[in-house]
Structure 1
Amino acid sequence: MCWPAPPRPSRRSSNGSPLLWQPGGYDRPPPPCRSLPHVCQNFVVRGCLMTISGGTFDPSICEMEPIATPGAIQPHGALMTARADSGRVAHASVNLGEILGLPAASVLGAPIGEVIGRVNEILLREARRSGSETPETIGSFRRSDGQLLHLHAFQSGDYMCLDIEPVRDEDGRLPPGARQSVIETFSSAMTQVELCELAVHGLQLVLGYDRVMAYRFGADGHGEVIAERRRQDLEPYLGLHYPASDIPQIARALYLRQRVGAIADACYRPVPLLGHPELDDGKPLDLTHSSLRSVSPVHLDYMQNMNTAASLTIGLADGDRLWGMLVCHNTTPRIAGPEWRAAAGMIGQVVSLLLSRLGEVENAAETLARQSTLSTLVERLSTGDTLAAAFVAADQLILDLVGASAAVVRLAGQELHFGRTPPVDAMQKVLDSLGRPSPLEVLSLDDVTLRHPELPELLAAGSGILLLPLTSGDGDLIAWFRPEHVQTITWGGNPAEHGTWNPATQRMRPRASFDAWKETVTGRSLPWTSAERNCARELGEAIAAEMAQRTRAELARLRHYDPLTGLANRSYLQERLAQDGQSAAALLFIDLDRFKAVNDSMGHGVGDGLLIEVARSLVATVRPHDLVVRLGGDEFVVLCHRLDAAGIVSLAERLRQVLEQPFEVAGRKCHISASIGIAMADSIGDLDLVRAADIAMYAAKKNGGNRGELFRPSLYEETTQLVELDNDMRGAIESEQFHLVYQPIFALNPETERLVGFEALLRWDHPLHGALQPGIFIPLAERLGHIHAMGNWVLRRAILQLQAFRSAGPELDLKMNVNVSPLQLARPDFLARLADLLAQVPDLPRHALCLEITETSLSDEAVSEALISIRALGVRIAIDDFGTGFSSLACLRRLPVDVAKLDRAFLGGGHTAAQDHRFFAAVTGLVHAADLKVVQEGIETLDQLALVRAAGADFAQGFHLAAPLSIAAALGLIAASRKE
């Protein structure tokens, strides 16, 4: 919209009559209506320097164009303002008489309530008090001839402003639920482009414009049409690029403030505004939020050249950045009424929110794909004798990490080259030109060749550079290189021919042709992505950590002593045992009880301080020649010589009493105790002394803690198995040995069964014992404290898989049942974790998730309270194995549950005698009377299924219907169910 405005003349007439405000100033004749073919909206022509009579045109003058304060509106409505303090009309559009039935001059200075009615004045003031600049419908007004008018309010400085639009028959109303139907389709989008394709399809379906496009801005400001729906006879624009100059910054900023803009007829004659000489404050009237705001004549020329008569444009934002636009074109004039604009605005808001999330997901996916390489590379850095040797051993990984073709590593005076690096002299000139960035401040360029045309040898190897200065200083760095990437871009018209300037009319004409114009782009590499830059930065941090570690490793003290407490460490203990042997030795293995609670509640600073105090107390209590060791975390060891069994037990008791006393750390009292394992070298057989003491310590902790336990052979098998299973379970959670299978649940119809959901069942593929059932390892997980991590993993996986199953069969409205432990429910943060997991899938109906709990857990008050809160989230609750616990049928209707899953014991062991029929029907009826649904599990025969169906159960599951299925098999069942 390159339409510079000359300085405005005086704003007051000599006789005090209303003044005509128009674009460019007062009392200027309105521009004539040109007979233009109709074209597209909101593409703004901005130019580079253009030759004018031998000189140049300064493009910065275009940024001063008053596109937000044009002083005119489009003629399909009228505009009126009133002073907020006095309520008197300050401005009115010249066509007010045509729209409102009252001439503009007659309302200026009048109280606004006399013009639009007292009720509408009150609504107008309320809209202003709300503080929102965005237009909002405040009411309607009927003219004397019966014509109904829409009133839309917004504010501009000290003015209350009204857009007034007739209710037209041709406006049309959207089909009921059209907006919601379009928005619901967005949930299937996996990428930003897919989302834009769905939005374009939905907009054309709902609004019926001849062409709808999604337009995305690149990092260089240029735009590309990434999605399009059009009338068949129209030329496609999909894939075309448009220069950044088409939409200048002033216009982009406008779209961030007012997301929806419309032009009804590209050949409209702008309607100027009249200002009351006493009420007009002399400041330009900001029409950013007016749906009638006039646009630049250059903009209309641009529309002419693109053969578009009417348009509706929606700005798409990612935070405070204009990501792109949704643009609707029509080849004939068309007024976008309030309902259409509201629908467009709502769709734009939803698309903007999802664009941001999908962008994060896409970036996270790329980052995740590179994390494996990063992890392997970081691991390799710790294996070489020197860091330089480690880099040489990991040469290809260095390049793969960021997708580079070459790299240079400068480290401790050495320079290592990987791949085909640029010539040394040219590379050094480039590095010198980049200055000295701060350590770990990643610098990326994809246009090095364009910056250094004097170095053409860079094309083949160094058109792009990613520079990572290292924290060690002294010029240490890693520089990755990429070669030139030649690509062809198809533009909508020649991007160099922005337009022509006419000095006589002080007007710019936009380019006339938008035919596909191909440009070969050279001198650039592929751009470096944010994921690649992040991986480079993380590598720099890992190198810094590794260098620090290697420095520490060179110091003997840090090789043998714990840096926090000053005690000997595990390494020193092993060397001491190897040197002295285990004969005549005894060892106390000390594990602090409740230390984690102190660490979590008081912070790691207090926790570290407590460990220091514990170390001091241990040293003060043992004999001078005894060795006190910190193994790590809250585990300590005392190695003693020349002590008999009575002496070592007595020492263990003294240590227990010392550690039971409160410690004061940073002014806070810390209460802990200790579980102590005692091992004598002459009574452990072939076991390692530390291992034997560790086993005894586990026995002490198992028996309640705050006690000592002397190792004896009978502990070995029991405790070792427990320790091994504990370690196995920790590793299983970390190494994905667990997986879920899904047993189908069917609704029982009179003649057949219908798939309605699945129960997620946990399985453990143990590397030694094979497939383990939950009944074996769940009690152990609850006992060892792993149930929370395991349960969180199950819940997250099941919710995500539920979303996938529902997407595979949307019309089936599938549900998912997930078993939870009462220990999980009793934990205070369970509800917040569940709410957070559900928030990550906002389009998933909450009733689609059902948590199954055992009947016996209902006696726990904390569990019952948690169930009430969970149901408040919309999640359903089922009693599992109902009929095997203590719940009476009398209190069944008061339990905070929705479903009763009847235990397989109700099926009578496979028999279906008459009394089984009557008993089962009675139980089912009682559960139904409590307003609960009935699920019968364990159906294994056709007779059992007939019994359950005849008794009136709602749902059933069991091996006769379907065994637990893998994901692939479940998807196959879903597909088959959709065909039925």
Structure 2
Amino acid sequence: MQTSPAFGQADLTNCERELIHLAGSVQPHGLLLVLQEPALTVLQASANVEQLLGITARALLSQPVQRLGGDIERGVRRMAAQGRLAEPEALRCRVEVRGRACEFEGSLHRIHGDVLLVEIEPVNPAGGIETVDLPSGQLLALVGESVKRISTASSIGTLADALVKGCRDMLGYDRVMVYKFDPDGHGKIIAESRDPRLESLLGHHYPASDIPQRARELYLRTRLRVLADVHYEASPLVPQRLPHTGEELDMSLCYLRSMSPLHLQYLKNMGVTATLVVSLVREGRLWGLIACHHYTARNLRFAVRAATDLLAEVVSTRIAAIENYAYAQVAIQVRRLEQRLVEATSTEGDWRLALFRNPRTLLQPLDATGAALFHEGEILTAGETATTAELRELMRWIDAQPNDGLFSCASVERANPDLESLTPSTSGVVAVKLSATQPDYLMWFRKEQLLTVTWAGDPSKPVVDNDPLKLSPRRSFAAWSEIVRGTALPWSATELALARAFGAALIDIVVQVNAVRLLIAEHQLAQIRTTVSNSNEPVLIADAKGRALFANRCFLQLIQRADDEAKPLGDAADLFMQPERMRKILCDLTEDRHPWRGEVSLDLGAGQSLPAALRAEPVPARDGSVLGFFLIFTDLSDSRRAAEARRRLEQSLSQVVQDQSASRTTEAGVAEPGDVIGAILSNASLAAMDIADGNMGATVVPLLEELEASTRRATELYSRVKAFSS
């Protein structure tokens, strides 16, 4: 079980859990009084009341605050009656100091329901700490000028630059920085205004551990904190614990609260003497900090602090506006892209090329270094990406992860060590799914965040031991570098929201594009359907499973079905007298991919069949599979009837020959020459061959029958000629 070290007892291994809100002491330029309501008796007092007020802390205990004279009691009672005082409220009062009324300013807040914490410091301190005190007119003018610059900033960068300049002009600190947090809590200095003699810290990164979680929570509750002199000697509370509960005093909202010795040592190692830290809050979260450093002791009057707090509040509002404006701009870009993709589909037939025609439009909104579209088995890329094989592996892994249509990761290597090779170009990924049924994705990538930072000392020798005396920005950067190795810059909540919106818009675009493609396809299909339907050849189209999809009018007439019976044809094999044979034919077509030709019998129902010649061909898909089959039929009924008619004709002619031969036989049994009959029969045979070979379909049978009748009549006429000429 991990225990939290008491204030001042933490080292570098457990500072994350240090109880900094239970400091038990204050900075000595102000004092703390803990009062019990309703009598406003003093429960605790900081030991420095003796230096600041001329009375010992022990002498004040259990005494009413009225003992201090002046109007402090009246001011406290008036404010205590106004509300809950859950947050510190400004207090200005007079207190008797060695017989003279002196001005004090500070704040008041309530804890535990009936305990008031009063923090005050002298308006005109006698010590040597420089205090920034600007005339009201000058202060308001500086604030107004800064607000104007802040309000016109169109990007986070220009906003941060305007902020550090305004704060330095107003406060006079040697260095003013804007420190921004990423989603993992690591920090980066994104803007800086400094004395030219100082080394720049702009662009430096720091690990999340530099600011423990408890400190971050307190930054949200107490938006502004001043350290007047890093070399101060803390003034302890007297007594150390609340006398009526025995608990340590919760000083979370005390602006005078002592700071962690580790933090003070860090500042001392940097040579910093005084600091001001102001929170920048966005949607209830710590977005960043205004951090001011000075190299001599420095304090601020309450009006100046309030002005600085005001600027931070305006900046927080402007951050929200800029980030939301950026989102709106992306939405506009998406709408423009949508129009381009729809137009590209109608003119070029493919929306994907339009998506990647201008890679900057795709990459810039998410600050990505690469992107890839996985669609219908193909991959299109922009910027720096991994190889196609690696991208397919990444897609398969992402597709197997549980998500709600959006997947993000700052370190693919850590999440899946098998994908370590992607780190240089594809360390971070955010992916939006574009289809509920297919592994179609749009992905953005970020490279590994390897940075080169120039330090005054040798950055190759960072200090990594647990000695607080060796704390430095260089050590923090070394720790940060180790933490982020193998990772990309994390995706912010805004960027993930943009990715989701972009993906949703693209899904809508794909629907629109497919709608356009469907209209085009429907138009083309209608034309093709009409052409095939009006064909004089019977055609049947079946899918890869052998289901009949379409039959033209000629085929329906062939199998004696009406046009409105085309849809429920069902299994194509069931249209044949031998369905199992037809299924095997289609199965063989799927395997060998070669056309099949042969004769089949179509089932006309009621036990009737129709002979037909069949040409069946498979239709391959792009991936090598079979989309389906088309079957073209030739009705063999007429051919069969023609063959039968020709057979009958040949039999008839043969019979004629026999009859004529018998009639020409003489009494002596010698046959007469039959030149005429032979010529008639020879003519008939040649005519039969020409008619049958002409393949005129249904007309062949009646022609052959007519030829048979004509030949018989000719032989009869020959008999008459012969009979009447003898």
The reply to whether TM is greater than 0.5 is yes
1:330 aligned to 2:294? yes
Distance (whole Å) between structure 2 residues aligned to residue 533 and residue 46 of structure 1: 42
Q: In the alignment, what sits opposite 2:466?
A: 501
Distance (whole Å) between structure 1 residues aligned to residue 268 and residue 89 of structure 2: 29
1:538 corresponds, among 502, 505, 529, to 505
Q: Give per-residue Cα distances to partners, 1:281-319, cap 9 Å, x unaligned.
A: 233322222221101111110111110111111111112
- The 3 A distance-change label for structure 1 pair 378 and 283 is farther
Q: In the alignment, what sits opposite 1:84?
A: 37
1:306 aligned to 2:270? yes
- 8 Å CA contact 1:3–1:298 kept in 2: the answer is no
Shift, 1:376, TM fit: 1.3
Q: In the alignment, what sits opposite 2:356?
A: 396
1:368 aligned to 2:322? no
The unaligned stretches of length 5 or more in structure 2 are 364-368, 527-726
Q: In the alignment, what sits opposite 2:372?
A: 407
Distance (whole Å) between structure 2 residues aligned to residue 145 and residue 495 of structure 1: 61
After superposition, residues 516-915 of structure 1 pair within 5 angstroms as: 523=486, 529-530=495-496, 531-544=498-511
- 8 Å CA contact 1:135–1:289 kept in 2: the answer is no
What secondary structure, in the 3-state scheme, does the structure 2 residue paired with 1:348 have? helix
- 8 Å CA contact 1:460–1:484 kept in 2: the answer is yes
1:181 aligned to 2:137? no
Shift, 1:161, TM fit: 0.8
Distance (whole Å) between structure 1 residues aligned to residue 517 and residue 206 of structure 2: 53
- The 3 A distance-change label for structure 1 pair 354 and 396 is closer
1:156 aligned to 2:111? yes
Identity %: 27
- 8 Å CA contact 2:434–2:440 kept in 1: the answer is yes
Distance (whole Å) between structure 2 residues aligned to residue 390 and residue 103 of structure 1: 85
With structure 1 as the length reference, what TM-score do the two structures score? 0.45
Q: Could you say which structure has the larger radius of gyration?
A: 2
Q: In the alignment, what sits opposite 2:94?
A: 140
Distance (whole Å) between structure 1 residues aligned to residue 460 and residue 204 of structure 2: 11
2:65 corresponds, among 109, 112, 117, to 112
Q: In the alignment, what sits opposite 1:98?
A: 51
1:224 aligned to 2:224? no
Equivalent position amino acid for 1:480 in 2: M
Q: In the alignment, what sits opposite 1:195?
A: 159
With structure 2 as the length reference, what TM-score do the two structures score? 0.60
- The 3 A distance-change label for structure 1 pair 320 and 79 is same
Shift, 1:345, TM fit: 1.6
1:123 aligned to 2:123? no
Shift, 1:79, TM fit: 0.7
Shift, 1:434, TM fit: 3.0
Q: In the alignment, what sits opposite 1:213?
A: 177
1:474 corresponds, among 415, 418, 437, to 437
Distance (whole Å) between structure 1 residues aligned to residue 499 and residue 264 of structure 2: 43
What secondary structure, in the 3-state scheme, does the structure 2 residue paired with 1:490 have? coil
Shift, 1:325, TM fit: 1.5
Distance (whole Å) between structure 2 residues aligned to residue 457 and residue 295 of structure 1: 45
- 8 Å CA contact 2:207–2:476 kept in 1: the answer is no
- The 3 A distance-change label for structure 1 pair 401 and 143 is same
- The 3 A distance-change label for structure 1 pair 418 and 179 is same
Q: Give per-residue Cα distances to partners, 1:486-515, cap 9 Å, x unaligned.
A: 65242778699575436xxxxx55524649
- The 3 A distance-change label for structure 1 pair 299 and 495 is farther
Q: Give per-residue Cα distances to partners, 1:878-923, cap 9 Å, x unaligned.
A: xxxxxxxxxxxxxxxxxxxxxxxxxxxxxxxxxxxxxxxxxxxxxx
- 8 Å CA contact 1:468–1:540 kept in 2: the answer is no
CA RMSD of aligned residues (A): 3.9
What secondary structure, in the 3-state scheme, does the structure 2 residue paired with 1:171 have? strand
Q: Give per-residue Cα distances to partners, 1:84-130, cap 9 Å, x unaligned.
A: 34532211112222222221112212223344554134234235x25
Distance (whole Å) between structure 2 residues aligned to residue 304 and residue 456 of structure 1: 41
2:219 corresponds, among 248, 255, 258, to 255
- 8 Å CA contact 2:133–2:300 kept in 1: the answer is no
- 8 Å CA contact 1:46–1:498 kept in 2: the answer is no
Q: In the alignment, what sits opposite 2:696?
A: none
- Higher relative contact order, chain-length normalized (CA < 8 Å, sep 6+): 2
- The 3 A distance-change label for structure 1 pair 173 and 421 is closer
Shift, 1:548, TM fit: 7.4
What secondary structure, in the 3-state scheme, does the structure 2 residue paired with 1:198 have? helix
1:5 aligned to 2:5? yes
The unaligned stretches of length 5 or more in structure 1 are 7-21, 25-44, 48-56, 503-507, 560-980
Greater helix content: 2
What secondary structure, in the 3-state scheme, does the structure 2 residue paired with 1:476 have? coil
- The 3 A distance-change label for structure 1 pair 346 and 479 is closer
Distance (whole Å) between structure 2 residues aligned to residue 523 and residue 232 of structure 1: 35
Distance (whole Å) between structure 2 residues aligned to residue 175 and residue 534 of structure 1: 49
- 8 Å CA contact 1:401–1:532 kept in 2: the answer is no
- The 3 A distance-change label for structure 1 pair 355 and 262 is same
1:168 aligned to 2:124? yes
